[in-house]
Chain A
């Protein structure tokens, strides 16, 4: 009964209620859409980091991360990789050697992490191969297959990801590193490292491809060679591994898989992408806090408008409220009625706003927003110019809760004002 009266009361002053509702609607669209953009950006960054940099889960010798010694390989890595690879949740496993080396070009030199990978395995775990301007892809794209000379020209100028067996050692490096070393595809670089027994070792590699991702630090510090090449440089067994990188079929499986693997292999260190790049996990967590903060600010602003409206409502209905209290509405019921009216007033705009924001996010979430027109340098800061806003269902639920909370808080002052009235006085007032 009080429910239906409160709902009908909302529509008594249609114009005024509509204005409040439209304000709430616009506030919600703005807040939610902006949140979705930020969330989309951060998710994209996480996705790319997983795709190119960290994979989902990595396994190391427990001492490897703090002290990267050649000897800290994963025990019986081959069997472990095979077993993990056969697990249902796992898409692929790549077993790698990882060695800190000095890399030198004719111009300059720098230190990098050299990853020895089996290209066949590695392409199933990370997508670095897709981040290379690959000659075969270019050829396919332009429909070029013959003559050989053109193919060779493409390969020489655009690079490839360990595509062909080559007598010389091949290395794939990042764009950033290539610029620093002033090298290009087909350039030669020298790699120097210290073997397990302390002696120096080195070899000449030819740049096979240059990858380009959004993380320039990664580009600058991570280079890839074939595993057997690195094994022979270091004197390690090509079957051994410092690192097992694991790609899962489903992102959501990461936490359970980490604990599962850690349980099965207590002797190794199992890390999720968040452990590997803690800043990444932190950004996503902080972002959530920030988004809610934005929403709270918006709702706070709307809340004042709602308080104002409800005060007007109470003032206008002094006589009616006096009558209601005279004939038997007690304080709880009067309070409930005003609170419900405030909630209905707020949530109607909120629901409409969420629906519109939802449709917008759905549309732009798949079509994407192209920001190239607005900021040319967008890629420079590590984000792709295509933006895919997205937001979880739980966000809408929380927002709904926040709107109701706002309405409840906003209704307190007007309701208390109504309750302070004495029905006899209220009924005497001349309007």
Chain B
């Protein structure tokens, strides 16, 4: 079942006189439950692509269709809600609200979605235990390591059962042990929750764990292959 389709997507940045063709005609499909890595050298257009998929940025040309919604056609206010209900985000850093505990961070979107309290608590507990932080639920992000913070971010991204999770270089700030650990957890949740993960990286240890590898270069898909 296709949950995401990119149809000839372009992104051109107009930087005073100079035009940067950051994404240059990309066609891609993603099925439910995929665990895919977007790989490419720095400046190849990974962040730009993920931002457009996540509705944070509009393509200059082309269509992005989530399920059957053309997200380019959504009004800005609808787009925010669409993101909140359908897409989980994990960023490289600054993922968490520093004044809230791990658990409150995970429950944040459920709050915005007005989940009842007992459901929120059950879900946040379940997820934090799944990412191995059952004993750190009441810690603030400032008291946690980078790897632990990214695990909370993954739990937060999954909290409201999105259609897919986008992660732009989630391990860029982590050491190799934490990187491995985070990827294992993501993979496990991908299986358990049947949620699609699309993450960008230029770290080979991460690439190794992906089930599908999309290589891009100069804003175009170079290779697109399954792994294992």
- Residues of A at the B interface (CB closer than 8 Å) are 1, 5, 8-9, 11-12, 319-320, 322-331, 333, 422-424, 427-428
Encode B27-51 as 1/0 by CB contact (under 8 A) with A.
Answer: 0000000000000000000010001
- Determine the interface band of chain B, counting residues with CB < 8 A from chain A: 20 to 34
The contact of B83 among A8, A11, A326, A333, by CB within 8 Å, is A326
- Complexed CA–CA distance, A115 and B105 (Å): 81
Residues A424 and B51 in contact in the complex (CB < 8 Å), given A5-B100, A9-B99, A323-B95:
yes
Q: Tell yes or no: B19 within 8 A of A by CB.
A: no
Encode B50-82 as 1/0 by CB contact (under 8 A) with A.
Answer: 010010110000000000000000000100110
- Complexed CA–CA distance, A427 and B95 (Å): 10
- Complexed CA–CA distance, A45 and B38 (Å): 82
Cβ contacts A to B, 19 pairs, < 8 Å:
A1-B112, A5-B97, A5-B99, A8-B99, A9-B99, A12-B99, A322-B94, A323-B89, A323-B94, A323-B95, A326-B56, A327-B88, A327-B108, A327-B157, A328-B85, A329-B80, A330-B77, A333-B112, A427-B56
Contact B99 A328 (CB under 8 A): no
Q: Which of B68-122 contact A (CB under 8 A)?
A: 77, 80-81, 83-85, 88-89, 91, 93-95, 97-100, 108-109, 111-112
Residues A328 and B84 in contact in the complex (CB < 8 Å), given A8-B99, A423-B56:
yes
Give chain A's interface secondary structure class: helix
Contact A8 B54 (CB under 8 A): no
Contacts of B111 in A (CB 8 A): 1
Contact B109 A328 (CB under 8 A): yes
* Minimum Cβ distance to chain A for residue B6 (Å): 17
* Minimum Cβ distance to chain A for residue B212 (Å): 24
Contact A328 B80 (CB under 8 A): yes
Contact A330 B94 (CB under 8 A): no
* Chain B residue, CB-CB nearest to A319: B94
Contact A324 B97 (CB under 8 A): yes
Contact A12 B83 (CB under 8 A): no
- Complexed CA–CA distance, A331 and B84 (Å): 13
Residues A428 and B98 in contact in the complex (CB < 8 Å), given A326-B83, A328-B84:
no
Most buried by B among A11, A325, A327: A327
